[in-house]
């Protein structure tokens, strides 16, 4: 079949924070040579912009304006490490509750998948249900809140951040509660999704499980 006529493949990967979905998505995209989009990073980039400009996350008009301004910069490279702190993550979770912000970023995500050359891997919270409901493969990656908090704690420690385990767990539970209030229908695997519980799996085992599912399809 002519490569230009080969249908592009869309892989949607959803799940809660620190479940391992981001690492899996990056590895799959690299192996398959597909375009990759970390949709959570979109919200974090807006959050970072909001924080840098001292915008109150409760000021909806200012946050929406910052989101629109960011859209023009999304093709540029960015420092991923600057997005990986709890303040940015917490702010991202708050601004994601603003409908107009979601509308702007949803349109960007759908365009990204639509314009992929060979295929695309997108990870987030509602990729398989809202962004790409017709995705060819839908994976739901999860883990216990305790395991996810442990991973986040180790990540913070590796970056020299003196975090406390109880505080990290409390923050993870608080974030889960916010996401549940906003995305309850999307934080559970639907009948089209393949569930991967990473609680007791190594990163390689997670990748192997995902590849097994993809190859079976």
Beta bridge partners of 194: 139
Arithmetic mean of pLDDT, 43-56? 94
Specify the pLDDT at position 193: 79
119 confidence band (pLDDT: 50, 70, 90): very high
Q: How many CB atoms lie within 10 A of CB 181?
A: 9
State yes or no: pLDDT of 124 exceeds 80: yes
Structural domains of the chain, with CATH: 9-211 (3.40.50.300)
99 has pLDDT over 70: yes
Residue 30 has a pLDDT of: 96
Q: Looking at residue 76, what is its pLDDT? A: 57
Taking residues 106-113, what's their average pLDDT?
94
Predicted confidence band at 105 (pLDDT cuts at 50, 70, 90)?
Answer: very high
DSSP class of residue 59 equals: -
Percent of the chain with pLDDT over 70: 90
Closest CA relative to residue 27, chosen from 208, 216, 188, 176: 208
pLDDT for the residue numbered 80: 79
pLDDT exceeds cutoff 50 at 2: no
Helix (H, G, I), strand (E, B) or coil at 147: helix
Please report, for residues 58, 105, 123, 160, 176, the alpha-carbon distance to residue 38 in angstroms, rounded to integers and kept in the order given: 24, 12, 5, 24, 19
Confidence at 68, pLDDT banded by 50, 70, 90: very high
Please name which of 159, 156, 148, 141 lies closest in space to residue 197, comparing C-alpha atoms.
141
Long-range Cβ pairs for the range 181-187 (8 Å, 24+):
182/96, 182/97, 183/125, 183/126, 185/129, 186/14, 186/125, 186/126, 186/129, 186/130, 187/14, 187/15, 187/16, 187/125
Q: What is the pLDDT of residues 199-215, one digit of tens each?
A: 999 999 999 999 999 99
Q: In the structure encoding, which two tokens stand for residue 118, read together?
A: 């060979």
pLDDT band of residue 186 (cuts 50, 70, 90) is low
Q: What is the pLDDT of residue 4?
A: 52
Buried b (16+ CB within 10 A) or exposed e, 152-168: bbeebeeeeeebeeeeb
Query: Three-state SS for 113?
Result: helix
14 φ/ψ angles, rounded to the nearest 5 degrees: -115, 165
């Amino acid at each position: 079949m002519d490569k230009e006529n080969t249908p592009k493949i869309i892989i949607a990967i959803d799940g809660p924070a620190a479940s391992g979905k981001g690492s899996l998505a990056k590895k799959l995209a690299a192996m398959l040579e597909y375009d990759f989009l970390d949709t959570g990073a979109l919200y974090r980039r807006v959050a970072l912009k909001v924080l840098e400009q001292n915008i109150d996350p409760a000021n909806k008009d200012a946050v929406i304006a910052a989101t629109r301004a960011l859209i023009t910069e999304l093709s540029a490279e960015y420092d991923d490490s600057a997005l990986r702190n709890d303040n940015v993550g917490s702010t991202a979770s708050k601004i994601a509750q603003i409908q107009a912000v979601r509308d702007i970023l949803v349109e960007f995500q759908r365009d990204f998948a639509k314009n992929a050359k060979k295929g695309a891997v997108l990870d987030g919270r509602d990729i398989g249900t809202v962004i790409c409901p017709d995705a060819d493969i839908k994976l739901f990656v999860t883990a216990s809140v305790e395991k996810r908090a442990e991973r986040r704690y180790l990540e913070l420690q590796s970056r020299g951040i003196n975090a406390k385990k109880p505080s990290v767990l409390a923050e993870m539970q608080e974030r889960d509660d916010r996401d549940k209030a906003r995305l309850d229908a999307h934080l559970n695997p639907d009948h089209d999704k393949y569930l991967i519980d990473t609680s007791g799996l190594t990163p390689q085992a997670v990748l192997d499980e995902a590849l097994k599912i993809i190859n079976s399809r």
